Amino acid sequence: MEVYLLASKEELASLMDSLYPGRNIFYIVDSKVKLFHPDVGDSMNSFPIFAGERAKSIVGVMDIQNQLINLEERNPVVVAMGGGSVLDVCGFALATFAKKLRTVFIPTTFSAQLEGFFKDESYVNFDRIKDVMKVRFHPDELVAVGEFFKTQKFEDKRSAFVHAIALGLSHSKRFFNATLKILNSNLFGNEEMIRYLLFESLRMRANVGSGLVGEESARALMTASKLEMPYLIALQYGILIESFISNKLGFLSKDSFETVYRAINLCANGHFDLSGAVETLSYSEEPLTARLPVKIGSVMEYKVFPGFLSEMIYSAHSQGYI
């Protein structure tokens, strides 16, 4: 997979021309992108798609495949533009399509840009269970365009930093500290700093293994809430609870846990009533393979049963961390 980091939408058009000269391009575009960037994508050859966890379903997959089947062009280049849920459902649809098509992913939210798509897998939800179905897939090109995140709300950009915290906490103390410095100084509105963070995040994700602190707990909480809990909030809780568990088990020092707690508070945007989700979670039996931080920049895999996870959430709540 080739990765490109561009500053503006104008650069995107010339990049596509150079990569695929003379080829017909079919755009699958997040409806929010079309709202803020109506000039992006050929309106005669594009398909708008609604974002969100509910759209990341088998029905969404079938809608995309139906569009591809009914295209006059038999071998288009598919350009998928949107947030993480849009790119996941597009990846699943293309991986299970009869014909292999050249694909370009363009994440348009800061969250999706930081997350990257190096895990070679695409997921969809089923029966309100988070990411229960997956296929192997990766795009041919990944293009991050700086201009897209400029239209995001200040709070949305700040909350997206949770991806950088998870990455740094799991694999690089230097990157974690850089993220914390940007959050502390309110530099996440600075385009230069954003480009640095994106570049480092993409570089690291291309070279480290999959699985970050907080991901498994976030997935379990979203499923327990029947996908009512927003992903970024679930990931914030996931990072906190897995770090809390690691501290309680004696793997992570108290000082390091407090550092993680402060970092999450700097980018936290909103809360969710966990009571119903935690109660549902406590009845589950399938253990989670959590990535517990043993220090900032290093993790270990640890089996955590949902009942124990629920107990730790209550404990963290009683101590004012959640």
Separation CA 95–CA 100 (nearest Å): 8
CA 50 to chain centre: 16
**Amino acid symbol at 196:** Y
Fold of 153-322: Dehydroquinate synthase-like, alpha domain (1.20.1090)
Token reading at 243:
């770090």
pLDDT tens digits, 128-169: 888 889 999 989 999 988 778 766 777 778 888 999 999 999
Residues of the chain with CATH 1.20.1090.10: 153-322
Separation CA 113–CA 14 (nearest Å): 20
Token reading at 217:
């707990």
Report how far apart, in Å, the C-alpha atoms of 312 and of each of 181, 210, 255 are. Answer: 29, 25, 19
Separation CA 188–CA 180 (nearest Å): 11
One digit per residue, the tens of pLDDT, for the chain of length 322 reads 888 888 888 888 889 999 999 888 899 988 877 777 777 665 557 788 887 888 899 999 999 999 999 887 888 999 999 888 899 999 999 999 988 999 999 998 888 888 877 778 898 998 888 888 999 998 999 998 877 876 677 777 888 899 999 999 999 999 999 999 888 887 766 777 888 888 899 888 888 877 899 999 999 999 999 999 999 999 999 999 999 999 999 999 999 999 999 999 998 877 888 889 899 988 888 899 999 999 999 999 999 999 999 999 999 999 999 8
Q: Which of the listed CATH numbers 3.40.30.10, 3.40.50.1970, 1.10.10.10, 1.20.1250.20 matches domain 2-149?
A: 3.40.50.1970
